[in-house]
Structure 1
Amino acid sequence: MKPHIKNVAARARAATHALAPVLKSRLPLRTKLGVYKTYVRPILTYAAPAWFALASETNKKILRAQQSLALRRLTNAPRYVRNSTLERDLRIEALDHFIIRLTRNMFARADASAHPHIRSIAPWHSRPPDRRAFPRDLLPSDLE
């Protein structure tokens, strides 16, 4: 997963850098946050339900850092302001919680689908021959 995470982080960093004039402007904070949610966060979370559970804690930290850097840039917050304070004040979910919510919603939609081929994308009972766990099984239960 390391090459993938590095690529995602580099693309998010490039998007944040390209949006720097907008993020540093005098636009309302709500507009800047919308720009972040529209352009940067989708880069960090694209197809995350498929790979996030398989990423190591170190790789997840790289993604969290990219979100924190983008939020700092749009708020012009100094280094001593905690990331959790930024997330709380901006009313934005931590990246882990957002991805886990996306994953749970994706599996719930797949399970509730009227189409059998979509329901069978992530089955509960059948396992691969090597007994590997599915991403659904790897979701942390402590973030419910």
Structure 2
Amino acid sequence: MKSHIRNVSARAKAATYALYPIFKSRLPMRTKLGVYKTYIRPILTYAAPAWYALVRESNRRTMKAQQSAALRKVASAPRYVRNSVIQRDLRIEPIECFITQLARRMFARTETTTFTHLKDIAPWHARPPDRRAYPRELTQDPAPI
């Protein structure tokens, strides 16, 4: 999955720089956020419910960094402002939360569909011996610490 994350990250970075004149303009913040949600976030999250559970934590951090860089450009925030503050002020959920919501909606639709070929597209399975995660596990709440 490392090469896929590199490709996704490079495409998101290219889109961010291509849209930089829009983010630097005097457009309202709401419009800039709409541009981010329309052009950059879909690049980062395309088909993510299928592959995000298979990605290592280091590659997840790469995706978070791309989201943070794009949001920093949207907000025109200086370097000393924390990414969590930018996300909170812009009311943008972290990328892993957004992908979890996407996965929940996708699996809920597959369970309630009338099409038989989609019904069992991602059935519940026991975890394999190599402890690899399944995409369906994105929908589960994290274990309490």
TM exceeds 0.5? Answer: yes
Structure 1 contact 53–138 (Cα < 8 Å) conserved: yes
User: Among the aligned pairs, what percent are the same residue?
Assistant: 63
Alignment RMSD (CA, Å): 2.3
What does the per-residue CA deviation read over 1:32-66, in whole Å, with 9 as the maximum and x for residues that have no partner?
Answer: 00000000000000000000011000000000000
In structure 2, the residue matched to 1:73 is 73
User: Which position in structure 1 is the counterpart of 2:3?
Assistant: 3
Task: Structure 1 unaligned segments of length 5 or more: list them.
Answer: none
Q: CA 1:133–1:75 in 2, change beyond 3 Å: closer, same or farther? A: closer
> Using the alignment, how far apart are the partners of 1:126 and 1:118 within structure 2?
20
1:65-99 per-position Cα deviation (integer Å, ceiling 9, x unaligned): 00100011111101111111111100111101000
Please give the alpha-carbon distance, in whole angstroms, between the structure 2 residues aligned to 1:131 and 1:42.
29
User: Counterpart of 1:97?
Assistant: 97
Distance 1:131 1:115, change over 3 A: farther
For residues 42-57 of structure 1, the aligned pairs below 5 Å read: 42-57=42-57
Which residue pairs with 2:113 in the alignment?
113
Return the TM-score normalized by structure 1.
Answer: 0.91
Q: Which amino acid aligns with 2:108?
A: A
Look up the match of 2:12: 12
2:54–2:133 CA contact under 8 A, matched in 1: no
Distance 2:66 2:91 in 1: 17
**Alignment correspondent of 1:84:** 84
Point out where structure 2 has 5 or more consecutive residues left out of the alignment.
none
